[in-house]
Amino acid sequence: MEGEIIKQLIIVTLILFVLVSGCINQSVTNTTNTSAQQEQTDDTTDGSDTIDGSDTIDGSDTIDGSDTIDGSDTIDGSDTIDGSDTTNDPGENGEETIEPKDIGTFGTFIETDGEICLEDGKPVVRLFSTTSCPHCTWILETFDSAMKELIDEEKIVAFHWKLDTGDNTLTSEVETSVPASEKAIYQQFNPKGYVPNFIFGCKYSRIGNGYERENDLDSEAKEFRAVIEKLLEG
């Protein structure tokens, strides 16, 4: 009789042990899951994304591993001045600017639906850049040299405006401000404010350099002349 009692006590003890162990394991599992969920929440708190393994700053995306300025995107070797979007902003005279429509491409340039702008019967070529933009520095000498040759050949009228200093590098004078009419054209073709911005004859435009990744300045110069020849054909 006494042996039966001892046997029953052992069975009850084992049952209690199993129940208590199960409760402890469940508690540990819940704690682990809660910690994992908290870590996941912490990782995504800032809401930033990454593309192609690149880092993000202040939740902004990067494209092709390029850096962003003030959270704005960069396009093919171009910088933004302030990252602002000026689409349909009023111009200098309070008039709304209308961005030209793209109708095709010519090389690395975009062809728009605008009329060719002329001065003294010659197409007007413009480059807008800044002194602090490395992409602008890369193309500066090649662009200016090609344009000066074409100006001497009396084929074009050309401007290279430095937006931060106001100087036109294609003249011997040192200008200190970009004319309002020129700024209006820049905003019309480039509402997001990227540099360098090429506008050839108000018909062909390009944001950024076409061949900088290949470090091919010769192709840049050849394409400048090809676009201008296209303009001269009318």
What is the spatial distance between Cα 214 and Cα 24, in angstroms, rounded to a whole number?
Answer: 64
Within 10 angstroms of residue 109's Cβ, the number of other Cβ atoms is 21
Per-residue pLDDT reduced to its tens digit, 16-56: 665 656 554 555 455 555 444 444 444 444 443 433 333 33
DSSP designation for 90: B
pLDDT tens digits for range 70-128 = 333 444 566 665 443 433 344 444 445 567 899 999 999 999 998 999 999 999 999 99
User: What is 79-233's CATH topology?
Assistant: Glutaredoxin (3.40.30)
For residue 195, which phi and psi values (nearest 5 degrees)? -135, 150
Q: What are the residues whose beta carbons fall under 8 Å from the beta carbon of 171, sequence distance 6 or more? A: none
pTM of this prediction?
Answer: 0.64
Q: How far apart are CA 169 and CA 31, in angstroms?
A: 67
127 membership: H or E segment, kind and range: strand 122-129
